[in-house]
Structure 1
Amino acid sequence: MQHGEIILDVVAPRSRFYQGGFGRLFPELEPWVPDIPQPATGGIGTAQALQNHFMNFVAQNMVDATGAGGRDISLPSGYVYFGQLVDHDITHDVTPLSESEVDPNRLHNFRTPRLDLDSLYGAGTKDQPFLYEAGTGKFRIDQIQGTNFRDLPRHRGTALIGDPRNDENIIVAQVHLAFLLAHNALVDEARKQGAKNPFETARKTLRWLYQWVVWNDYVRRICRDDVHKAALRLESGAGLIKVWQVGYDDVFDWKVNPFMPVEFSVAAYRFGHTLVRGGYQTNIGNGVGPNNGFPTFDVANPNTKGDLRGGNPLTSNRVIQWDWFLQMDSSFGPDFPQVARAFDPLLVEALRRMPEDPVNPSSPTAILNVLAARNLVRGVRMQLPAASAVARKLGIDHLPIQQQEDEALWFYILREAQSTEAVGSNGERLGLLGSILVAATFAGLLKGDPLSFLNMEPAWTPDRDPLLQALDQNLQINRDAGQAGNVSWGLPAIVRLSGLPVDGSSFPQPAGGAAAVPPPATPAPPAAG
């Protein structure tokens, strides 16, 4: 869950006519700034005072003292890390600016604000040939030495992939790997069917399947049902033609091409941080039980390989058994798949001790290690509006503002999701305001992409795709549709298409018949810091 070591101090323009990579949904709303004592002359600076304020707030209000367990919800944990891959596919800002260098024109999104898997494909086979097998149109894949398990392609340990951020932890790395292998399977099928350009044929199918999964599986799970249904719908237009209609086009009001809204990227879409567990079981080969998993971050030993950080070749004990992370037909017992923690303002202790500060790794007093504090500071520096002002702008109810920090858009969205009031979702998914911001943005990105299936073939479904239809007939890659909470052609289908290990049969069985032991109630907690 690492997101870089620099707190970005950048500002998106407020003009409705701006057509850059980032923009604002509500440019007319005033920025929200917390009321904190101004530093005395010769004392700490305003920026440091802001950091100190939020560090104290996080320590008092946002730390889950229960450890790895917390409150569970029904969302399988695989979607938490799929959401991270989606984030890396649509947004990446690497512009470091000091407080005195606020220049709107320097804010640049190094990812296309489209669901087009540019984080996977990079610049293509000609401009980035090192990503691909020569002459095949297929991605390079490595193998874990001495095993049948596969890994991302690497050079001296460094992953050779379209977006290096997808190797920051081993779970999102294996989501990325699943997409690489899914593309390769589609290339083989396209060639079998006589496609003139197997690479492009496979890429189009995978992109459209990905868009389908994002909207019909992922966004449906994280947003309120009423908001999801209102945000995007297929209707009969003039002359009975099929047209996708966007329900919140007055929220995401873009011209010509969609931009990346900062209210989404800096606040609403950062809900995933609260869903992260302190640790996970990876596969049956390690056995089952509270001592057989891995902490997300080993806060006691930040320089060891005893956790789920990426950046190194995959080892067999960290290979994901996917029916432990997604609801598949082989998922067994009440505790598998492992599920996400609740949508709420509490983050596990591991995310307050991230090993990102080069001087004091894992120290809870260094802001680079405290993800929640960085999120709050970033929201102020990006001049996000107050949550209550956004709600009033949309004409919806909002929770009472009980303390000034409730106005911080990211914190409010988590608090709203946790609420049992009419605008909340009891921690199972985003609340009303959060759902609108997230669903409106995804719907706008899909509708604004001229090459999305919504615009190219509005009536397209995976069942009608010749490559997917043939592969499903042979491999039953859509077999998990109908499992608890699963839609047709959801994320499990991409895992099946990839050929990655789904159940325990791919792993050596632990000694003593541990494979038959019911899985633990909670995954392994992180080591004490």
Structure 2
Amino acid sequence: MFSAASAGLLSVLPMGTRSASAAPALKVPSQVVKPAVLGPATGHGVGNPRGAEVALKMRSQQGRFGLMFPSLQPFAPSEALLAVMAQRMIDPRQPLADVSSSEDGFDNAEMPAGYTYLGQFMDHDITHDITPLSLQKADPLALKNFNTPFFDLSSVYGRGQAEDPQLYDPKDPALLLVATTAEGISDVPRTGAGTAIIGDGRNDENLIVSQMHLAFLKLHNHFVGLGNSFADARRLVRWHYQWVIVNDFLPRMVGPELVTAMLLHQSHGTIKVDNKFYKPGNRQKPMIPLEFSVCAYRFGHSMIRAEYEMHDNTTFPLFGPPGQDLRGSRPLPYDARADWSYFFDIPGVEPPMGRNTTRLLDTQLSFPLANLPPTVVSHIDGAIYALAHRNLLRGVKLGLPAGQDVAKALGVPPIPNTRLGLYEPEWGNKAPLWFYILKEAELQGGRQLGPVGGRIIAEVILGLLSLDPDSYLNSRIRWTPADPAFGMGELFKMSGATFKTEENLTEEELPEEELPEDHL
């Protein structure tokens, strides 16, 4: 934590696109009364996963994690400087009572908000760690004992029917277990205490991701219902999910041109990925680069809204009074059930007026992320509750290089600090990689990532898919969904998880009209 004098400097010099104009450099406090601490954390993207400290021991070492650019030097600005930057990254606007009253210039109209949470779901999938505790203790840097980071939906299927039978329907183990709440709506299965019985408990951290998880349970059961075996249904779910990642999620985030350029269709049916920078030493158990996992992939934090409209005229804050916000770890409330047309483009359903979009990709984070609740970060003495501050400090503690150094390594002209809005000489003409990636996106309009952030994201996601021998990219028989335009909206529709209202029900699903009593 910083002294009161230091804290008084933190409201100066907003850095986002919504600030007035460039201002002269401010004086940065040099004395830190007590070192800032991250503190215990359980929420998505706020804690250090096992093995993340590997680069501090040996920069060329690879295990569960590693470095994409091990030859680059760590960038270590002072904690005081990071605290000033983090405070400037807070958007002070409070959550809205109605999403439809959101301001122009605040939202990314081209990006439905559901992709923020698809990104979170994907992160959980590749970082799912079910290594036994005894092996974790014996291998704290996760050099040998860790799960392969593939997009294989281990967060949904767990370790399979034999080792995780609680995830499967006891009446028909080919089906995944789906529950029904007391109010008659579908939910993930739960214990009597409300704990989710799912492959990865992190998917129950918020009510949006838990309902997305539910859609994957339903999609699997849909394929089984068509007569597929368990193995074939699982393969179809995985391949449709991977197709969405490659053809829907990634083009929106990094641009379709980069994705197309990196996919090389082979004559025998497989699709090769042209990776130039992500080259893990162990291709059977590839590492996840720290530049990706604790930095570039956290671009999604900039997209998070302070509030979401779950269905017509029903808006919930991200964090609020217990039971009245979107935090999970509880049975799905009836009022919080998701009409997915508010989050994705659903075929055959007209987008509603108040549809949620993501925030622009920039250096401003929504106000609730400035003070994470105790359910996300333990409120202990000296702990940091602001997500931006945690991300910046983590980058230093894990030895990440500066943004300009990574740009040079990628062959991209680096953006000088003056254009990034960093005028303090203490920066040494360099910027933290996470901030650099967000500012790079902001400077080009905030609709998608720039060349540094986009390249890191595309290299790792496509690289992991190419290294998975069971991914659709490696199928000898070229596979596509029945509709090659298949995206996340089509996935929800196919799963049967779309919201049912009289406006979007088919004629067969509409309730029969009752005749007035005088006509009976």
- TM-score of the superposed pair, with normalisation by structure 1: 0.76
Q: Deviations over 1:184-216 (max 9, x none)?
A: 11112134xxxxxx1111011111111111111
Hey, what's the Cα distance between the residues in 2 that align with 1:108 and 1:500?
A: 39
Q: Could you tell me how far apart the structure 2 residues matched to 1:396 and 1:319 are?
A: 44
Residue 53 of structure 1, CA deviation: 4.5
Deviation at 1:372, TM superposition (A): 1.1
Describe the SS at the equivalent of 1:281.
strand
Alignment of 1:221-260 (within 5 A): 221-236=252-267, 241-257=268-284, 258-260=286-288
Q: CA deviation at 1:167?
A: 0.3
Q: 1:252: how far off?
A: 3.5
Residue 444 of structure 1: which of 432, 452, 463 is its match? Answer: 463
Q: CA deviation at 1:367?
A: 4.3
Deviation at 1:272, TM superposition (A): 0.7
Task: Give the Å deviation of 1:447.
Answer: 0.8
Counterparts of 2:176 and 2:249, CA distance in 1:
25
**What's the counterpart of residue 412 of structure 1?**
436
Partner of 1:293: 315
Name the CA shift for 1:335/1:247 in 2 (closer, same or farther; >3 Å).
farther
- Kept in 2, the 8 Å contact 1:88–1:166? The answer is yes
Within-5 A mapping of 1:36-185: 36=78, 50=79, 53-59=81-87, 61-68=88-95, 69=102, 71-73=106-108, 74-92=110-128, 105-106=141-142, 111-134=147-170, 135-147=172-184, 149-155=185-191, 156-185=193-222
Counterpart contact for 2:207–2:336, Cα < 8 Å: yes
Please give the alpha-carbon distance, in whole angstroms, between the structure 2 residues aligned to 1:359 and 1:223: 30
1:432: how far off? Answer: 0.7
- 1:357 Cα deviation from its structure 2 partner: 7.0
Match of 1:500 in 2: 497
Kindly provide the amino acid, as one letter, of the partner of residue 156 in structure 2. L
1:209 to 225, 230, 240: 240
Say if 2:341 is the partner of 1:323.
yes
Does the aligned pair in 2 maintain the 1:89–1:112 contact within 8 Å?
no
Secondary structure of residue in 2 paired with 1:434:
helix
| CA gap 1:278/1:406 in 2 versus in 1, 3 angstroms | farther
**Alignment pair present for 1:397 and 2:424:** no
Aligned pair count?
Answer: 435
Partner amino acid for 1:32? F
With the length of structure 2 as denominator, give the TM-score of the two structures: 0.77
Partner of 2:454 in structure 1?
435
Please report the RMSD computed on the Cα atoms of aligned residues, expressed in angstroms.
Answer: 2.9
CA distance in 2, matches of 1:84, 1:346: 19
Residue 54 of structure 2 contacts residue 62 of structure 2 at CA under 8 Å; is this kept in 1? no
Match of 1:124, SS? coil
User: Matches of 1:203 and 1:435 in 2, distance apart?
Assistant: 30
SS in 2 for 1:294: strand
Q: Report the residue type matching 1:173 in the other structure.
A: S
* Matched letter for residue 308 of structure 1: L
* Counterpart residue type for residue 153 of structure 1: P
* Counterpart check, 1:275 vs 2:303: yes
> CA 1:163–1:110 in structure 2 vs 1: closer, same or farther (change >3 Å)?
farther
Q: Is the 8 A contact 2:129 2:146 kept in 1?
A: yes
Question: Which secondary structure state, in structure 2, belongs to the residue aligned with residue 190 of structure 1?
Answer: coil
Structure-2 change in CA distance of 1:347 and 1:29 (3 Å): same
Pick closer, same or farther for the CA change 1:181–1:243 going to 2, 3 Å. closer
The Cα of 1:386 is off from its aligned counterpart by: 1.1
Q: CA deviation at 1:19?
A: 5.0
SS of 1:206's partner is helix
CA shift, 1:92, in A, is: 4.6
Q: For 1:265 and 1:81, locate their aligned partners in 2 and report how far apart those are by CA, in whole Å.
A: 16
Report the 3-state secondary structure (helix = DSSP H, G, I; strand = E; otherwise coil) of the residue aligned with 1:137.
Answer: strand
Give unmatched runs, 5+ long, in structure 1.
Answer: 37-49, 96-100, 192-197, 421-425, 464-477, 479-486, 509-529
Structure 1 residues 330 and 273, CA gap change in structure 2 (3 angstroms): same
- Give percent identity, aligned residues only: 37
Matched, 1:385 2:401: yes
Q: 1:337 to 1:358 in 2, by over 3 A?
A: closer
Amino acid at match of 2:318: T
Shift, 1:24, TM fit: 1.2
Contact in 2 for aligned 1:323/1:336 (Cα 8 Å): no
